[in-house]
Amino acid sequence: LLSQTLRNRLIIPNWTEFCGQMTTIYNECATISDGKVATYIPQLARVNPNIWGMSICTIDGQRFSLGDSNTPFCVQSVSKAFNYAIVSSDVGSDKVHQYVGHEPSGRLFNEICLDGNGKPHNPMINAGAIIMTSLIRNDLDMADRFEFVLNEYKKMAGGEFIGFNNATFVSERATADRNYALSYYMKENKCFPPGTRALRDELDLYFQLCSVETTCESAAVMAATLANGGVCPLTDEVCINSQPCRDVLSLMYSCGMYDFSGKFAFQVGLPAKSGVSGVMIVVVPNLMGIALFSPPLDKMGNSCKGVAFCKKLIEKFNFHNY
């Protein structure tokens, strides 16, 4: 980074000006008071709704953060994007897509439904994500499977903060009727790959990965790894193979924002994934990763401030794919 700086070859050369514009957008979004925090578990209901964090990491490792960028939160459904990329890197895209489709479902994220081929529509909704979980190193025991994924997250985050919120995990597991119903429905329809454990174990792993903690700072590095073809910009380590990296961005683009994905693709034009904690990661391919965190959610389940930030970003910069 230093030699690039000295040679004035940074991917965002006018960095100070850029950061100034990001600060303006961040401050404009800070005044938004719409939305409601998720209340289906007490650990989410109790979160301070005023927390507002933003962090950027470019593919050459420039960093910029504002607000509560070091506050830990659970990744929740953002894990679905990372898990798909990790599994796809591990076992290959062909194997993964024997069990999960590529299409937006047009349904709620936790709806009990399969596509015309009897598979979950995509890996970004609960059905597809639970199938992805069952493909995570099912040759290992449960503890090692969790550790495997955690280590992959840490690699993507360049060694920065990755934690685990056990209270969230226990709460998720205790309120899991829908995910159990969904899983039994998939079991009945023979959706699971050979080697799948008891559904209780697979769902434990799914909830454990929803309960992994990051901060905006570390999530921005993970997003930047996706922006950088799967190579962590802080360590130069290959975390995700190039094809799965392209694949996960394609699926984030079409399916990453729940039932708002089409409009988000239309308005913002960038791959993104949101989670019920109020986190959002946004990837500007070949440029940077952005992590946003603000707990109040809109009716679609996406962070109000997060979505507003992205729209304003696109008004100022030509990052929209088209």
Chain residues that interact with ligand DON, rule: CB under 6 A: 76-77, 109-110, 126, 172, 179, 210, 275-276
Residue ranges of E strands in the chain: 53-58, 63-67, 73-74, 163-164, 212-214, 272-274, 279-284, 288-293
Least distance between ligand DON and beta carbon 270 (Å): 19
Instruction: For residues 301 and 7, give the distance between their C-alpha atoms in angstroms, rounded to a whole number.
Output: 44
Shortest-Cβ-distance residue relative to ligand DON: 77
Distances (CA, A) of 15 to 18, 175, 279: 5, 46, 25
Least distance between ligand DON and beta carbon 277 (Å): 7
Least distance between ligand DON and beta carbon 189 (Å): 19
Least distance between ligand DON and beta carbon 31 (Å): 25
Closer residue to ligand DON (CB): 152 or 172: 172
Least distance between ligand DON and beta carbon 128 (Å): 10
Closer residue to ligand DON (CB): 305 or 312: 305
Closer residue to ligand DON (CB): 149 or 210: 210
Closer residue to ligand DON (CB): 10 or 300: 300
Query: Mind giving me the DSSP string for 134-182?
Result: HTS-TTS-HHHHHHHHHHHHHHHTTT---EE-HHHHHHHHHT-HHHHHH
Residue ranges of E strands in 43-127: 53-58, 63-67, 73-74
Closer residue to ligand DON (CB): 84 or 109: 109
- Residue 129 φ then ψ, to 5°: -70, -35
